[in-house]
Amino acid sequence: MNEQDILRTELRWGAVVAGAVGVIIAVVVVSSAAMVLHPPSNVEIVNPQALTQSLEFNEANLGTEILPDGSAVVRLVATQFAFVPRCIPVPANRPVTIRAVSPDVIHGFIVAGTNVNTMVIPGYVSEVKTEFREPGEYLMPCHEYCGLGHSEMWSMVRVARAEELVPDANGRVSCEIPR
Ligand code: CUA
């Protein structure tokens, strides 16, 4: 091969790489714009040392709240090595907002079979919006290694038909309520 050929080969591979980068950027742009796929991007800070005193994340306020419009807000604490609460009732086919905090280390969770997938970082409120279609029980494990009890850290999301979830006077539902 002479120098000309080498230069041509280099240019050709340069074009291949540029093309690949272009395709990747196009996929990211199209999927985030057209299909509304994007990582949770909520930036909201909270004092991880004072969660029990916080208005929103004190123990009595954790769990599922049904709002007047029928949507639900779930407030969770992710801590070594459990989610509080252990069982999370939510209505099917209604908007559900999950808000989670950690007082200790980085945790995370997914809900099997759904788009719910976030990290929970001390100091920040993680927020995920979703809608569950099928009633049933969905495992919600911690997916960030957080210590020796990591594999024991999970909750159960119980998706029920909206009519079956009867909130109390404060709009709360829990898994203990008979359905
Ligand atoms: Cu919490 Cu792993």
For residue 67, CA distances in Å to 4, 64, 74, 117 come to: 71, 10, 11, 23
Terminal-residue alpha carbon distance, the chain: 78
User: Quick one: DSSP state of residue 118?
Assistant: E
Banded pLDDT at 119 (limits 50, 70, 90) = very high
For the Cβ of 116 lying below 6 angstroms from any atom of ligand 1, the answer is: no
The HSE-up count of residue 19 (CA atoms within 13 Å, CB side) is 6
Residue-level pLDDT at 35: 65
In the predicted model, what is the mean pLDDT of the chain? 90
Instruction: Give, for 54, the enclosing helix (H) or strand (E).
Output: none
Nearest atom of ligand 1 to the alpha carbon of 149: 2
Q: What angle (nearest 5°) sits at the alpha carbon of residue 50, between those of residues 47 and 54?
A: 90
Indicate the pTM of the whole model.
0.76
If you average pLDDT over residues 56-85, what whole number do you get? 94
- Tens digit of each residue's pLDDT (9 = 90 or more) over 126-152: 999 999 999 999 999 999 999 999 999
Higher per-residue confidence, 90 vs 174:
90
Ligand 1 centroid from CA 81, angstroms: 6
> Could you tell me the two tokens for 76?
């969770």
Nearest atom of ligand 1 to the alpha carbon of 153: 1
If you average pLDDT over residues 164-168, what whole number do you get? 90
- Tens digit of each residue's pLDDT (9 = 90 or more) over 104-115: 999 999 998 888
Ligand 1 centroid from CA 105, angstroms: 8
Residue 176 has pLDDT above 80, yes or no: no
Residue 39 has pLDDT above 70, yes or no: no
Residue-level pLDDT at 45: 86
Indicate the Cα dihedral angle 115, 116, 121, 124, nearest 10°. Answer: 100
Report which protein residue has its CA nearest ligand 1's atom 1: 107
Residue 178 has pLDDT above 60, yes or no: no
For residue 162, CA distances in Å to 67, 74, 85, 116, 144 come to: 12, 15, 20, 20, 31
Higher per-residue confidence, 35 vs 93:
93
Banded pLDDT at 32 (limits 50, 70, 90) = confident
How many angstroms separate the CA atoms of 132 and 111, rounded? 10
Ligand 1 centroid from CA 153, angstroms: 6
Say if residues 76 and 127 touch (Cβ distance below 8 Å): no
Helix (H, G, I), strand (E, B), or coil: what is residue 60? helix
Banded pLDDT at 177 (limits 50, 70, 90) = very low
**Phi-psi region for residue 160, left (φ > 0), alpha (ψ -120 to 50) or beta?**
beta
Higher per-residue confidence, 80 vs 178:
80
Residue-level pLDDT at 131: 94
Nearest atom of ligand 1 to the alpha carbon of 150: 2
